[in-house]
Chain A
Amino acid sequence: QKEVEQNSGPLSVPEGAIASLNCTYSDRGSQSFFWYRQYSGKSPELIMFIYSNGDKEDGRFTAQLNKASQYVSLLIRDSQPSDSATYLCAVRVYNQGGKLIFGQGTELSVKP
């Protein structure tokens, strides 16, 4: 079982729709959860992080965390073609020197 799992996609949504990206993790010692966006040929860019159960909103983005289900998601409202990228879920496990364990990423395509 992979430590952090994401659907590789591609996930295709029409412009203006809500894109829902999901991530599950296996280590219950996981402490913090991060969503990075990576455009083709570019470096990962931090969008949001969350470490408490529930929702965290930042503009069009909402991160949701459910530690009991070991599940974290990212919702993108009013999706734009510029949101088309690969979204990487990352997990930081307690007492492992701050390293991030990444999922394989979900490719999102927003169609005009």
Chain B
Amino acid sequence: DTAVSQTPKYLVTQMGNDKSIKCEQNLGHDTMYWYKQDSKKFLKIMFSYNNKELIINETVPNRFSPKSPDKAHLNLHINSLELGDSAVYFCASSPLGGASYEQYFGPGTRLTVT
């Protein structure tokens, strides 16, 4: 029983293409996140949704557009892919409330733009 799942696991594409990454969680959490981890392993928040509402939108190019059809799903669509978009993208989820805000991460999607 996978708690947070992402598809695809690997994505290789050419510059200029548009691609999507899907994320689903079965933990019943209210909040979901997208993080980007670069080649130096630095993990940085991109977006967060709470009950389908966007609550965090970091300084990310508007080529990146998250979509949350329901609170269990958060997808990431990327337009006009660039070489610099190559990274590992992690989806995460957390329950609402409490000081801990433990976040549980999906397995990641390794995006390679050529």
Within 8 A of B (CB), among A21-60: 31-32, 34, 38, 42-46, 49, 51
Q: When the two chains form their complex, are residues A97 and B106 in contact, meaning their CB atoms are under 8 A apart? A: no
Q: When the two chains form their complex, are residues B100 and A49 in contact, meaning their CB atoms are under 8 A apart? A: yes
Whole-angstrom CA separation of A61 from B96 in the bound complex: 26
Q: Is B94 an interface residue (CB 8 A)?
A: yes
Task: Please list the residues of chain B having a beta carbon within 8 angstroms of any beta carbon in chain A.
Answer: 31, 33, 40-45, 48, 50, 55-56, 58, 90, 94, 96, 99-108
Q: When the two chains form their complex, are residues A49 and B41 in contact, meaning their CB atoms are under 8 A apart? A: no
Decide yes or no: A46 and B103 within 8 Å by CB, A97-B56, A99-B33, A104-B42 being known contacts.
yes
Task: Please list the residues of chain A having a beta carbon within 8 angstroms of any beta carbon in chain B.
Answer: 31-32, 34, 38, 42-46, 49, 51, 86, 88, 92, 96-102, 104-105
Q: Smallest CB–CB gap between A62 and chain B, Å?
A: 17
Decide yes or no: A104 and B41 within 8 Å by CB, A43-B90, A44-B90, A97-B56 being known contacts.
yes
Residues of chain A lying within 8 A (CB to CB) of residue B50: 97-98
Residue among A86, A100, A104 with most chain B CB within 10 A: A100
Decide yes or no: A99 and B45 within 8 Å by CB, A49-B100, A92-B101 being known contacts.
yes
Q: Smallest CB–CB gap between A72 and chain B, Å?
A: 14
Per a CB cutoff under 8 Å, which of B31, B100, B106 touches A51?
B100
Which residue on B lies nearest to A44, using beta carbons? Answer: B105
Whole-angstrom CA separation of A98 from B47 in the bound complex: 11
Whole-angstrom CA separation of A110 from B10 in the bound complex: 30
